[in-house]
Structure 1
């Protein structure tokens, strides 16, 4: 901070508007967890940092307009009339910009009946008299009238981060005027932005000529009679009152009755604790990183007393009574391979930690961990289950999982870091792993072992403290059964599946890879032949030159660096030139080769299996996701993609892979939830639901009249309705006009009126309650359901329609998985459940057990939940995953 007396005055409204529109394109991406738009706050903060660093002020104030009514509107009622209304997405941010300033240690101020300009003008004058230099920051060039040898007016030019400094010399150079003449210029030419008139037909050029000759408006009118007859002279005479009124409106007051003075504006830097809390509330992770703080830290964490466990004191475990907290610590996410670096266990009476995980396998500890009567609370039960399994331990007795509980209470709380989630529940006495271990390649144990031990105990304490609070909230939300009967047991089922893994034939993949490489070479040569030259096919820039400059194809979309060659663009161009289809084919094979051949080969463990991880707390709907590797995204609509499934085989000779999947489960759920009689009837009578819909939208009398293309379009309509699709979206999906799509949707709702009523009702419920639920009370909060932005509100409405359907379908297959594992155990079968891929369950079993599975699996899946329509399950088996379905 400067030792000189420097006052910085910022025009808050002007800069906030600039900040908002500078980042307007990013509007939808800048919202916090409460749905508040934050783009203007974000850009304002960036501007603030740049200005503070450049000017190094000793005193600062940000001035705001107090309202629309000022002494100027009293003089001229149309002053600033006609201005577009401030976007609500910006209006909602103003109070938070002032909160940001307060956290920065900067005073903000407004004054009834005056504008921000008048506050700035008055303080600049006072500061100059007190020996200060003054810098003003604004987007409004009207303030250049305040420029003196002691005051510089900085005008934001591009957005808010680039400024043009106006000194008296710069004003003279730019306009040929003294700063004091700016108000005369405005008086003569008026101001369309502020909506005051000036003199009819006098623009900037004419006004500058008049002022060059006569210095001021007063000078112009002293000599107006001497001017030769002209339209200009007539207008000047007719509009004399307007000219002087406009000059008055343009004049910034320098005697506003302020209740703050220079002495109140000393700047001593931000209050870090307040600033951190503000950044957390705004979800400004990058700003927190600048402070070397992550979004979860707000206050220094407390230290706890603990005992380090060794071989010599393991008998201390006998002192643990009641539910203990427990966790195995690992540095990286993939708990199938991550190094285990320590563990914690205990209750507030006895905290125990260690960096020696081998102790867990000692008989006394192993027995305690495997004892179901010794109840335990954890963070991420599946992670701990798999880690324990790697040590030969079957972890039992887990009754609480902080990760799962937090996710159920709010599906946006899906971080897998304990410190982050604890903070979201207002518990700030635990750091994040990133704070303790670092990130990326620098992630490592802290140098001081005591720091590590304290972190472990803080985690244990957080679980202990938050358990009763979260359990109470789950019960209040009618979600405790969802937690205890579905998510917790499911985590154990998933852990078993992950530990089992699925065998992958590496030689089969390598053979495919060789074939794909040959195919890519052929396609590459074909592209070169069609282009008439060689180039880098993988370079969007070079490809753009070939397609749009050399071959003259129509330009669909441009990017900052040239032409867009994205898939959606190429799809539109495929009819214009054969090369486009060849490029699409090349890209498709290249992706399959890199992602699924090379990617899977890297993921095979020493046991010749891949052990995917199922993310149970990632999606907003409750659907499971698969990573390391992702086995849910293997493309099946492309022949080359389907071939990948040939590499997935049973783990033992004489075994087969077996699969069962729900048929049209989301539509069946929709029929149940909506209560639509026609749709329920179609499913009860086992009619083809897509043909049924096609008959209605094409006006047919028999299912025999439905062509494959009609059925395809009806299918897209059925599933599009589930996702709240618009007529535009449907038209794009199936290649029809928007008007046709509109008539399809209208016909659909005519056929299924109960569905339309459900969608109206569920959106109404979302507006009233702020969330929607699945059949099992899984909630999804929709903060944008009341957004003033049409786009945000529409998306929230579509989400309200879709979540109960998609989420209930996800819940049903989860129930089926839990029941299925129970039945396999009960029947003492060798069969193992290996994978869940969307609505499909995949098993491996000895050939002799396949007939049993053919009856058992569909019967369990059919009865997982009782709906108003039957669930339908289709099954198959074969020597590879590919052979199950061709």
Structure 2
């Protein structure tokens, strides 16, 4: 028997979007609806194993039904842009799965599904047909051959309707669903029906009289004077509503069933998409392999060195310091390679590290070195007490600046993009994960030698491209010196009080035990709070709380479910707090204890300089930019971060509202400039303008709203996005945004102007000429263009803020060196710099740090940095 699965694409997409919290990937692309949609598609493929499949989408806002009733679906709110921009990605994923999708102008997805399911039954008696939707209207299509899987709360949870289930649920036949809608209407589609007639009354009438026609033929027999009057007054409306609810079974669907046959998914394309969307968990389910089969590469002449001589270390030289582990603070150097005009050399690790000639050359700032990933090389050699200086070019940083949106800035990928000397991918040479291992010396020599040769080959081309893009200054004066500064910060590390962390862990364990007892008391029974099954049974069976979502294994007790139940029972806030504390202990306290370096007793993070498209730094192994501070217990973790020396302090300097100051500068908006230049609280000023009140009349709620608008508006926040963040209706949110744009005309002009400018150039730039290319702006697809417009507004502001703090870091490093200070820069946390400062330098640093930060870039409004200090990071904040 052939199995045909038909999916209502719009219905599943909408359900996924509203069921999951707004998620986005590193590039800022929203992914929650795509994730839910993909999960559903994968579940359908696993559960149904269809031989044929099609996903139907609505083609547009108007359909033939609007000719009957102009107000059809008229009360539906506009698709949130956060969802709209995800729809094209869903189509890309369907292509990668080799699943056909279809839409027909003037018809809805329901009509496509109805037409195909009917045609399949007429043409072939052996079809087994399953429809997936969230729309009960499609229940009218149920037959002995057609079953409808109706999504419930959540994404992958469905109830499957056959003839018996429709009868059990409604007591009518599937074809009577349209009569039911004719009588009761459908508010979601703005089908009016008969006012005052609900589902219960409609079903009662249909069980007695069969159809809408039957009801009106026997109108005199209908009991209840008021009901009879309503039916009489709204007869035309009832028949019109029935017509609107009826799925059209002869839509122009030019699709042959043979073309719906399921083929093998395109694993390479799926892997690429999942990587881009950061769907790591789904990657495992498709068995994606990152290691790619690569064409044979012709061997290069590489000399393996047994003794390093001056002759082979000519200036300039390309150098590769290879480290296999992601965390290079705890890894050995795998090998070293050098390429220059005299040849290509592979130097085994022991030979390099024991060579006085190599060490002297590495530390010589006058011997020019071209490199791939300067920071990693500086740190890797630093752990071997070898100084690396004289780095004049980093291929990875250059590639990142030229095109930050490129999927990868690894050596092999850069070489492919620039059509340089071919280099094999690391995973093809070493393997991945636990299978990663060093190959034979001959293979290693060839791989590392080619990398160094490619660095040498690429340097001039990349440098020319930076110059053409007016980015050479950004590269030379900012990113290159910063990479060395970051390397030294990583090597320096941050001292931690291990005993203090352990004490915090013990305190949290005791608190968790107390909370466990409270939760058990409130539940009236003992159970494992960390078991979703046991917790679900307690909440939804014992305490009878409303079921929000179900999973394969039972009731969902996910964070978003519990948030919705927060006011339903006093046990819920306790469970949420218990979970937060548990995560705090396992992820942060236990996690930080695990990464304390055995040799130094400090924590050495890794700053990623070539990942984000906005130019922001990120931190991994561990992420010290993300220590939770919403909970007091989370903030207290910073107690454990201390100065290395007893007579020193932690000093924190934080830019004040840097992104809004950058916006004032770029937009030249008079109101914003006035607010900052007069030292006003900008959120209060916005509240005054948006609400039309005096300063004294601005309430805390008004200021909170103004703050959300201020920070959201330049990122293309929609009425939906603002309504979610403030917990208000989309209508109210829309009014706030309109009032803001009326008050801040300069901002509105900037937003319109930057989009036009970006469309013309194909990219946007920051104040320091960092670029971001936006091909989406010229896309024929409305949703992709919307994403491009949002990004065009966002990048110059967020990217300029990132540039400014990076410039402040470089200038602070220069200041500390020139003044021969002992103070050290420890961390960068977005708009904040953290230093360790000896007591005798404290007064000088309290003045110098804000001064240097304020003068990093000249704006039309003052840059301000707030400085605080203490004996721990917590005290400093």
Query: What is the TM-score of this pair, normalised by structure 1?
Result: 0.70
2:305 is matched with 309
1-structure distance, mates of 2:580, 2:283: 39
1:506 is matched with 498
Deviation (angstroms), 1:22: 9.8
2-structure distance, mates of 1:774, 1:549: 56
Q: For residues 474-529 of structure 1, what are the alpha-carbon distances to aligned partners after superposition, in whole Å with 9 as ceiling and x for unaligned?
A: 22222222111111111011111111111000000111111000111111111111
2:349 is matched with 356
Q: How do 1:333-732 residues align onto structure 2 when only pairs under 5 Å count?
A: 333-347=326-340, 349-413=342-406, 415=408, 417-427=410-420, 429-446=422-439, 448-606=440-598, 607-701=600-694, 703-732=695-724
Consecutive unaligned residues of structure 2, counting only runs of 5 or more, are 52-83, 99-114, 133-143, 147-174, 176-248, 257-262, 277-281
1-structure distance, mates of 2:662, 2:698: 25
The secondary structure found in structure 1 opposite 2:616 is: coil
Q: For residues 61-98 of structure 1, what are the alpha-carbon distances to aligned partners after superposition, in whole Å with 9 as ceiling and x for unaligned?
A: xxxxxxxxxxxxxxxxxxxxxxxxxx999999999999
1-structure distance, mates of 2:551, 2:617: 35
Equivalences, count: 706
The secondary structure found in structure 2 opposite 1:680 is: helix
2-structure distance, mates of 1:795, 1:519: 45
Q: Is the 8 A contact 1:831 1:849 kept in 2?
A: yes
Q: For residues 177-227 of structure 1, what are the alpha-carbon distances to aligned partners after superposition, in whole Å with 9 as ceiling and x for unaligned?
A: xxxxxxxxxxxxxxxxxxxxxxxxxx9xxxxxxxxxxxxxxxxxxxxxxxx
Q: Is the 8 A contact 1:414 1:617 kept in 2?
A: no
Q: For residues 218-237 of structure 1, what are the alpha-carbon distances to aligned partners after superposition, in whole Å with 9 as ceiling and x for unaligned?
A: xxxxxxxxxxxxxxxxxxxx
1:3 is matched with none
1-structure distance, mates of 2:8, 2:26: 21
Q: Is the 8 A contact 1:326 1:345 kept in 2?
A: yes
Q: For residues 6-29 of structure 1, what are the alpha-carbon distances to aligned partners after superposition, in whole Å with 9 as ceiling and x for unaligned?
A: xxxx99xx9999999999999999
CA 1:496–1:866 in 2, change beyond 3 Å: closer, same or farther?
same
Q: For residues 443-472 of structure 1, what are the alpha-carbon distances to aligned partners after superposition, in whole Å with 9 as ceiling and x for unaligned?
A: 1112x3211111112212222232233222
2-structure distance, mates of 1:872, 1:30: 30
Deviation (angstroms), 1:842: 0.9
2-structure distance, mates of 1:303, 1:288: 34
2-structure distance, mates of 1:869, 1:393: 44
CA 1:366–1:685 in 2, change beyond 3 Å: closer, same or farther?
same
2-structure distance, mates of 1:793, 1:499: 43
Deviation (angstroms), 1:566: 3.0
Q: Is the 8 A contact 1:297 1:428 kept in 2?
A: no
Structure (1 or 2) with the larger CA radius of gyration: 1
Q: Which of these residues, 823, 826, 834, is aligned with residue 826 of structure 2? A: 834
1:108 is matched with none
1-structure distance, mates of 2:23, 2:584: 30
Deviation (angstroms), 1:288: 13
CA 1:760–1:682 in 2, change beyond 3 Å: closer, same or farther?
same
Q: How do 1:77-116 residues align onto structure 2 when only pairs under 5 Å count?
A: none
Deviation (angstroms), 1:778: 1.4
1-structure distance, mates of 2:791, 2:370: 33
Q: How do 1:773-788 residues align onto structure 2 when only pairs under 5 Å count?
A: 773-787=765-779
Query: What is the TM-score of this pair, normalised by structure 2?
Result: 0.71
Deviation (angstroms), 1:157: 6.0
Q: Is the 8 A contact 2:763 2:774 kept in 1?
A: yes
1:125 is matched with none
Q: For residues 630-668 of structure 1, what are the alpha-carbon distances to aligned partners after superposition, in whole Å with 9 as ceiling and x for unaligned?
A: 111112232111111111111012111111111010110
Deviation (angstroms), 1:822: 0.2
Q: Is the 8 A contact 1:301 1:428 kept in 2?
A: no
Q: For residues 400-426 of structure 1, what are the alpha-carbon distances to aligned partners after superposition, in whole Å with 9 as ceiling and x for unaligned?
A: 212111111222336363223433444
Q: Is the 8 A contact 1:504 1:647 kept in 2?
A: yes
Deviation (angstroms), 1:777: 1.7
2-structure distance, mates of 1:373, 1:823: 22
Q: For residues 819-844 of structure 1, what are the alpha-carbon distances to aligned partners after superposition, in whole Å with 9 as ceiling and x for unaligned?
A: 00000000001111111111111111
CA 1:642–1:478 in 2, change beyond 3 Å: closer, same or farther?
same
1-structure distance, mates of 2:336, 2:419: 25
- Structure 1, 588-597 or 570-579: larger mean CA deviation: 570-579
Q: How do 1:221-370 residues align onto structure 2 when only pairs under 5 Å count?
A: 294=290, 298-311=294-307, 314-315=308-309, 317-347=310-340, 349-370=342-363
Q: Is the 8 A contact 1:351 1:457 kept in 2?
A: yes
Q: Is the 8 A contact 1:648 1:880 kept in 2?
A: yes
1-structure distance, mates of 2:467, 2:448: 29
1-structure distance, mates of 2:824, 2:723: 44
- Structure 1, 434-443 or 762-771: larger mean CA deviation: 762-771
Q: Is the 8 A contact 2:421 2:453 kept in 1?
A: no
2-structure distance, mates of 1:516, 1:95: 46
Q: Is the 8 A contact 1:343 1:357 kept in 2?
A: no
2-structure distance, mates of 1:695, 1:594: 45
Q: Is the 8 A contact 2:88 2:783 kept in 1?
A: no
Deviation (angstroms), 1:761: 1.6
Consecutive unaligned residues of structure 1, counting only runs of 5 or more, are 1-9, 56-86, 102-137, 160-172, 176-202, 204-245, 254-268
1-structure distance, mates of 2:283, 2:515: 47
The secondary structure found in structure 1 opposite 2:624 is: coil
Deviation (angstroms), 1:381: 0.5
The secondary structure found in structure 2 opposite 1:336 is: helix
2:734 is matched with 742
1:767 is matched with 759
2-structure distance, mates of 1:821, 1:458: 35
Deviation (angstroms), 1:549: 3.2
1:222 is matched with none
CA 1:581–1:804 in 2, change beyond 3 Å: closer, same or farther?
same
